[in-house]
Amino acid sequence: MSASPKHRVVVGLSGGVDSAVTAYLLKKQGHEVVGIFMKNWEDDDDSEFCSSNIDFVDAAAVADVIGIEIEHVNFAAEYKDRVFAEFLREYQAGRTPNPDVLCNAEIKFKAFLDHAMRLGAEKIATGHYARVRQNPDTQLFELLKGLDPSKDQSYFLHRLNQAQLSKSMFPVGELHKTEVRQIAEEIALPNAKKKDSTGICFIGERPFRDFLNRYIKHEPGAILDDRGRKLGKHVGLSFYTLGQRQGLGIGGVKEKGAQRGAGDHAPWFVARKDLEKNTLRVVQGHDHPWLLSHDLDAQDASWISGHAPATGGIAAKTRYRQQDAHCNVVNASTEGFHLHFPEAQWAVTPGQSAVLYDGDVCLGGGVISNRV
**Which residues, 6+ apart, have CB-to-CB distance to 11 below 8 Å?**
19, 22, 23, 26, 33, 34, 35, 36, 68, 124, 125, 126
For residue 338, the cross-strand partners are 297, 330
How far is CA 86 from each of CA 44, 77, 98, 299, rounded to the nearest angstrom? 20, 14, 10, 15
Q: What is the dihedral of CA 340, 342, 343, 348, to 10 degrees?
A: 10
DSSP 3-state percent helix, strand, coil across the chain (nearest 5): 25, 30, 45
201 flagged as catalytic: yes
362 flagged as catalytic: no
Catalytic one among 50, 103, 327, 362? 103
Rounded Cα gap, residues 67 and 55, in angstroms: 18
For residue 3, the cross-strand partners are none
Helix (H, G, I), strand (E, B) or coil at 29: coil
DSSP string, 201-245: TTTTTS-HHHHHHTTS----EEEEETT--EEEEES-GGG--TT--
Contact yes or no for 277/267 (Cβ under 8 A): no
Rounded Cα gap, residues 42 and 84, in angstroms: 12
The 10 Å CB-count burial string (b at 16+, else e) for 171-183 is: bbbebbbeebbeb
Catalytic one among 50, 201, 327, 362? 201
Q: Which residues are catalytic?
A: 103, 201
